Amino acid sequence: MFKKILIANRGEIACRIIRAAREMGIKTVAVHSDVDRDCLHTRMADQAVCIGPYSAKESYLNVPSIIAAAEISGADAIHPGYGFLSENTDFADICESCGIKFIGASKTAIKELMKKAGVPVVPGSDGPITAETPNLLKLAKKIGYPVIIKASSGGGGKGMRVVQKEDELKGAIAMAMAEAKASFGDETVYMEKYIEEPRHIEFQILGDSKGKIVYLPERDCSIQRRHQKLVEESPSTFVNETLRRKMGRAARLAAAAVNYVTVGTVE
């Protein structure tokens, strides 16, 4: 169990993490830009550290400042919430090299690894794309419209565009890249089949350092607003026992493929 975590985010996202940490008896450190020093999350946390000026690039995306804040405050883990650095694999590696646990996720490169491990994945591009990617239109047609462009280094609906037809594709990629760059400091995007009216099902997994991995019953997070879940229901009324076992095995397979340690979620 962590003794103190640094929340590398702001606003309601940071407040939620602080409340959850408080319930578990974990101390919290809130980072903030110079204009956010009086925000609610800074007042709720046990400690607050300024990491830069108003611009997100110079504060909430400023990796050296965030790492320094963690070291100065004595935090043994960093929770990035969603958005900003939450799915930045380079940041996760830096945290590990500094002896700080990273509580987060990653996307693009992992998809190919999952396919090799036999884990079912949504059809899509094999890696990043741009509007100039060779055979882009053929790729989208092969995947099948509608497709979705998604930021590689983020979530929360940022850097995301649904494309219904061919003549919208390049413009959507340009807009998604620009938004991803502004939100996460990384313009990398990729393309997937857009699944209409899906169920959002999550399996909690736990892995130890000896390679043992277990999964817990699923959570149905399909009720969402702006791509953020509002309600979690467990067990899901849409999942029968056969499907539950099949999805649970896939979740364990995914975790084993990356030698996953500690608590995580497979969605």
What tokens appear for 206 in the block? 């736990």
What's the rounded Cα separation, in Å, for the pair 138 and 174? 18
What is the sign of the dihedral through the CA atoms of 131, 134, 135 and 139?
A: negative
Instruction: Give me the domain span that covers residue 167.
Output: 109-193
* pLDDT, tens digit only, all 267 positions of the chain: 678 999 999 888 889 889 888 888 899 999 999 999 999 999 999 999 999 998 888 999 999 999 999 999 999 999 988 778 877 778 888 998 999 988 865 566 677 778 888 899 899 998 789 999 999 999 999 999 999 999 876 666 778 999 999 999 999 999 999 998 887 777 888 999 999 888 999 999 999 888 899 999 899 999 988 777 889 999 999 999 999 999 999 999 999 987 888 888 888
Q: What is the CATH number of the domain that holds 127?
A: 3.30.1490.20
C-beta separation of 156 from 87 below 8 A: no
Residue indicated by tokens 């026992």: 241
Domain boundary among 193, 226, 250: 193
pLDDT at 109: 63
Tell me the per-residue pLDDT of 67-81, one tens digit each, with 9 for 90 and over: 999 999 999 999 988
The widest CA-to-CA distance across the chain, in whole angstroms, is: 53
pTM tops 0.75, yes or no: no
Domain boundary among 37, 72, 102: 102
Same domain for 14 and 98? yes
pLDDT at 6: 96
Domain boundary among 102, 121, 151: 102
Same domain for 66 and 26? yes
C-beta separation of 257 from 119 below 8 A: yes
Same domain for 210 and 260? yes
Is residue 141 helix, strand or coil? helix
Tell me the per-residue pLDDT of 26-76, one tens digit each, with 9 for 90 and over: 999 999 999 999 999 999 999 999 999 988 889 999 999 999 999 999 999
Same domain for 155 and 218? no
Same domain for 41 and 21? yes
Q: How many domains would you assign to the chain?
A: 3
pLDDT at 65: 96
Q: What is the CATH number of the domain that holds 10?
A: 3.40.50.20
